[in-house]
Structure 1
Amino acid sequence: MKIQQLQMLNALSETGTLLGAAEHLHRTQAAVSMALKKLEDEVGFPLFDREGYRLKLTAYGEQFLRQAREVLRQQQRLQSLTQQLRDGAEPVLRISYDHTCAPASLFEAMRAMQTRYPTTDLLLNGEAQLRSLRAIREGEADLALTPWLPVFRQHGDFETKLVRPFELLVTISPALVAKYGLPTQRRDLLDIPMLMPQNQDVGINLDRMIRMPGQQRIRVNDSIAQRELLVAGMGWGIVPGDIIGDELARGDLIRIDIPDFINQVHLEVHLVRSAERIAGPAAQIIWDYF
């Protein structure tokens, strides 16, 4: 059984005549008729009822055609994959993102990539702190979404594109506001525990930056745990805006605005790739989006 026979069967079912199928397949009517007879001899049962003017599938023929069409769809996908691989498209595109950066900013670019290269699998991997850059440097990821400082170039040969500003917000839960009032000055925070990352690893020393001696600190090693502790009212914290947008919108957290409290932070979120490796076409679509 050959693909050409299944294509002929599909054309016959759609046109209903030997002449129509022959014109569609650019073959002679006699050749289509002979191919149909050969296929029916091979499967061992009639595929069409020939009594009327138009060919009509038998019950067996309808069931056979459903499976034949699935084979044709798979064959088309295989042809598409073959062409994409021949053109250099990646079978898998690996994207790493820092936990402090919401990956949603990549979604539209990813949709564009999927439209152009539907057989390229996407592998997204969230990393703590700046391990995303290490994944790029070591060839374990093709693209990374991460906070960026120019000093990071000393850790590898990177190319980057600006995605958006990286914003650190001071936040507190409504329960703590009810207990202590809404802080408006630095000293208002002294009696409330501070939630902070164990290692921010983005070129920021929060202890040195805020200089609030004597205050109790709760240190966590990832932003997700910090967010959950904030919502639970375990303390106030300085946290990336990307990971608490929904909580702020729902009122689960309240933003604290204290003049000149964290204005020393000037970071950006960048898309990063290695300058030493040639990007595949799927990765290039996402790169060009920005």
Structure 2
Amino acid sequence: MNLVQLKMLDAIVRTQSLSKAANALHKSQPALTLAIKKLEAELGFELLDRNQYRLSLTEKGKLFHREAAQLLSAQSYLTQLANELALGNEANFKICYEQLCHAPQYNDIICDAFRQYQSTEFSVSSGKRFASLEQVNTAQADLGIGPWFDLFHATGDLESMPIGKLDIGIVCANNLVPKRVKYKQLQDYPCLAMFESEMSFDSERLSYSKGSAIMKIDDIATLKSFLISGAGWAMISLAHCQSELDSGLLQRVEVLDREHTFSAQIRVFRQYSVHHGPVARAIWQGFKRASEQFIND
């Protein structure tokens, strides 16, 4: 038994798929299958129940994987700690923004750390909706900033802090859609929306549009430009288009028979269990001050 085999088992458990686990580990599916069967032979019991549509752990496998996951976490912590000790600070620090939640005051916190730790390479990314949650949970990002709902705690071992509020409403080009419509009438007009993530709870069912023509876009700036061009209506952060609403380029749409405005907390979040180096600690402390100010306001 070795760490490579344990990592393979953990990848299978997380993805519930041999093919997805093989892709994540950059190995062939037969190699993965052989390695797990060899591990089971060494242990003397089966780890995986192969009789279901999706791979799942046997009862003994659940106990084994729970202890294996702790060992892998400890190994990951030790590796990160060694890297930090060797380099002085983190070699790189990755941040993922939810595009709807970008705000200048969050940049200020990150800029302070960027100026303080100039030997660290900072990477800032965004993408489809819930990208920040997805990237933090898969360790592609060290820090996420995005809208927050209580069910997100169930997606991973996360700690979070509230730092702001997100208000979402229906917006379109001036006079494209009547300012007050019924939900069924709204579906007669084309809709603009962000691409869905690969999170298990995310799907087209979360869309406000049911049956209208839809254009999917992967960044908020492009979505807003198509809104201004009159391509359709969209559920969008009101803060992102306030100037266009004030100038009359865009207008709010009120749906008479459905809820049409939504609010959520914006939170900064990260994995709870991993080791956090000096850069991570500095940024987290900056957001902690922002969180305290947001709560007091």
- TM-score, structure 2 length as denominator? 0.56
Residues 262 and 229 of structure 1: is their aligned pair in 2 closer, same or farther, counting only changes over 3 Å? farther
2:168–2:263: 8 Å Cα contact kept in structure 1?
no
Task: Look up the equivalent residue of 1:96 and give its one-letter code.
Answer: C
The separation in 1 between residues aligned to 2:139 and 2:196, in whole angstroms, is: 24
Gaps spanning 5+ residues in structure 2: where?
1-83, 288-297
Residues 167 and 126 of structure 1: is their aligned pair in 2 closer, same or farther, counting only changes over 3 Å? same
The separation in 2 between residues aligned to 1:134 and 1:207, in whole angstroms, is: 18
Larger Rg: 1
Alignment equivalent of 2:252, drawn from 247, 250, 255: 255
1:97–1:146: 8 Å Cα contact kept in structure 2?
yes
2:169–2:260: 8 Å Cα contact kept in structure 1?
no
Task: Look up the equivalent residue of 1:217 and give its one-letter code.
Answer: A
Please give the root-mean-square deviation of Cα atoms over the aligned residues, in Å.
3.3
The separation in 1 between residues aligned to 2:166 and 2:202, in whole angstroms, is: 12
Aligned pairs, how many? 201
Task: Look up the equivalent residue of 1:146 and give its one-letter code.
Answer: G
Q: Where do residues 122-137 of structure 1 align in structure 2 (5 Å cutoff)? A: 122-137=122-137
> Residue 193 of structure 2 aligns with which residue?
196
Tell me the secondary structure at the aligned position of residue 199 of structure 1.
coil
Q: Where do residues 140-179 of structure 1 align in structure 2 (5 Å cutoff)? A: 140-174=140-174, 177=175
Q: Aligned-pair distance for 1:189?
A: 3.4
Residues 151 and 249 of structure 1: is their aligned pair in 2 closer, same or farther, counting only changes over 3 Å? same
The separation in 2 between residues aligned to 1:230 and 1:97, in whole angstroms, is: 22
1:142–1:273: 8 Å Cα contact kept in structure 2?
yes
The separation in 2 between residues aligned to 1:208 and 1:278, in whole angstroms, is: 35
Q: Aligned-pair distance for 1:263?
A: 5.5
Q: Where do residues 1-290 of structure 1 align in structure 2 (5 Å cutoff)? A: 88-102=88-102, 104-174=104-174, 177=175, 182-186=178-182, 189=186, 191-199=188-196, 216-224=212-220, 225-258=222-255, 261-262=258-259, 265-290=262-287
1:196–1:217: 8 Å Cα contact kept in structure 2?
no
- State the Cα deviation string for residues 75-117 of structure 1 (Å, max 9, x = none): xxxxxxxxx9679422322111123322534211012213432
Percent identity over the alignment is 21
Tell me the secondary structure at the aligned position of residue 93 of structure 1.
strand
Residues 272 and 278 of structure 1: is their aligned pair in 2 closer, same or farther, counting only changes over 3 Å? same
The separation in 1 between residues aligned to 2:140 and 2:244, in whole angstroms, is: 33
Tell me the secondary structure at the aligned position of residue 112 of structure 1.
helix
The separation in 2 between residues aligned to 1:246 and 1:89, in whole angstroms, is: 41
1:103–1:145: 8 Å Cα contact kept in structure 2?
no
